[in-house]
Structure 1
């Protein structure tokens, strides 16, 4: 994919690298995958997934009963930790790059579910299409 497609141009005309935002978000061990979005929108938002292996151990170590990834993705302690991870990532980003809203999905992204290539790179267009409804929700007040 050419570099030009790797840029988000916000409604305010700011050019932002989604990969930069995503790498900051994925620094937290609980976050397995991240997609930053904001093309033609007023601010960036993110769709996140848990790291299945890390999340289960993290939850167990805190006495959170691990049912499945979907259960963990909705658990208040997990959501609070992911929220803290987003806040920490935002601290290291320029104001226009900061993620204003995010959603944690109840499943991992894999090559089999088609969000990732066989080499585990993000298929942006697939994620944009598959989660367009969630992206739109993130921009609703």
Structure 2
């Protein structure tokens, strides 16, 4: 069985369909969520459906260490970030666990592109079309 670690932000509504069901329940694998202290209480509404651990995003090494501890019991097969700001941390965790996915270098380039677009105003121009 596959086991996905999701680095989550937002509240439980983000992970629910229009009828109130969990979008994550439809996935064909087990799901574990990491949420920051500010989002953790809101995501507790999904507790019971999925394992949820409250972590501190600003302590990347500790988050990676916690993922490694959980990985020994039920190994993760992949790590996903549901927020652009967590792409680098997801890469760090994948690297520490020996999982495939976006490399740390690719994550750094991704963030550099976002910073450049925001600095030059391209981001705002692109979003006007949204």
Q: Which has the higher helix share?
A: 2
TM-score by length of structure 2 reads: 0.29
Structure with higher Rg: it is 2
